Amino acid sequence: MPGRVPLPSSHPAAMAGRRRRRSWPLVAALSTGLLVGSAAAPAAATDDRPDRGGGHHRGQASTTVEPFGTAPDGTPVERWTLRNGDMTVRVLTYGGVIQTLEVPDAHGQVENVVLGFPDVAGYASDADPYFGSLIGRYGNRIAGGEFELDGERYQLPLNDGPNTLHGGPEGFDDRVWTATPVGDRRTAALQLQLVSPDGDQGFPGTLTTTVTYSVDRQERLTVHYEASTDAPTVVNLTQHTYWNLGGEGSGTIYDHELEIDADAYTPVDETLIPTGEIAPVEGTPFDFRDPTAIGARIRVADQQLLYGQGYDHNWVLNRDDDGAREGSDGEDELEEAAELHDPESGRTLTVSTTEPGLQFYSGNFLDGTLVGTGGSVYRQSDGLALETQHFPDSPNQPGFPSTELRPGEVYESTTVFELDN
């Protein structure tokens, strides 16, 4: 196992956890073409107002909606379609799920490049591996399902062996979000909101969360998160889409070439909880600083790969070398974190984020029991997740970036998924 490398207080990842009272960053507005967030305004002009049922109009963005069944409690579920240029994204109000994302390959053939289910029942099932879901209140794992905040101990329900995973057994992925279209002719955009009451899944404070999906004319999908609380709490939101750039149901992602801008990662124990180390990737199967086929080293007899049955780890992203996440205007900056390329289709996915970490999960636990949107059975590594995030178990790891959020502060995070061929 690599030797321990301490996380200095000046490290960009350590700086990244600090919450500030501030407004929605302009850098994200520039990338989406909209000023969106918890206070987003509706479309200003009649001509630009998103319709709630029409079709796509050539040369302009569209955000449309249709009924899509009901949640287990009978709540109606909607499916929203965001179209712009050559990209089409379908989003469910159940779990904020990205159900499909269609883009052309190098030859112009349009395919869905994310894994998912054809109906709500699949996402509501206990067998759902978080396909396309919004994750909260806390993405990734919390050891023992407990943490201490301001001298008080909180116990969460366990749903991953001895730990709590992705916010608990009834996390944000199992809720119906309220949807509001916020796009115009240039940008297809949808705002989702969810209020999580005090004590929800054991977490303190009433948390109000707003997530905005937007697709711009450059076929970039931007995900912007905002959250506020009425009592001290911990928050770590992320998006859990499974990608296969060869097309949904086309086989494994072992030939996909992945590059991650990270010199270090966080090793885990046998239950996939970080040990507290910040370990160098140099000389290990976790070195993706240069484009590397995912299958090239996934079967190496490395203890970390044995624990995860493949890759299921957090990378410590390299941020600006000045030791801060803030730009000259005082706002968080989007920085490129990873690039995924499929040689066969020619598609490339670039992930940029304001977050300090990236969880790369190689779909190790897909076991051939799930049938996807295209009718194919999903087997091991038929898709992968690139989850931008703060680090796993941060509430119990004082050396990791903080995930605390307090009244009067605004949690903000932005991730951009850009597809090219």
Q: Which residues are identified as catalytic?
A: 240, 387
Q: Which residue has the tokens 């790891």?
A: 397
What DSSP state is assigned to residue 38?
A: T
- The residue written with tokens 């249709």 in the block is 66
CA distance 206 to 364: 35
Residue with tokens 């941020």: 319
In the numeric block, the tokens 């937007």 are attached to 214
What sign results for the dihedral spanned by CA atoms 20, 23, 24, 29?
A: negative
CA distance 254 to 214: 30
CA atoms of 113 and 208, how far apart (whole Å): 31
Please name the helix (run of DSSP H) or strand (run of DSSP E) that holds residue 418, with its range, or none. Answer: strand 411-420
Distance CA 15, CA 193 (A): 28
Give the C-alpha separation, 31 to 221, whole Å: 9
What DSSP string runs through 248-313? TTS--STT-EEEE-EEEEE-B-TTS-B-S-BEE-TTSTT--SS-EEGGGSTTS--HHHHHHTS-EE
With vertex at residue 341, the alpha carbon angle to CA 337 and CA 345, rounded to the nearest 5 degrees, is 150
Burial label, 129 (beta-carbon count in 10 A; 0-12, 13-18, 19+)? middle
Nearest alpha-carbon partner for 94 in 74, 114, 115, 64: 74
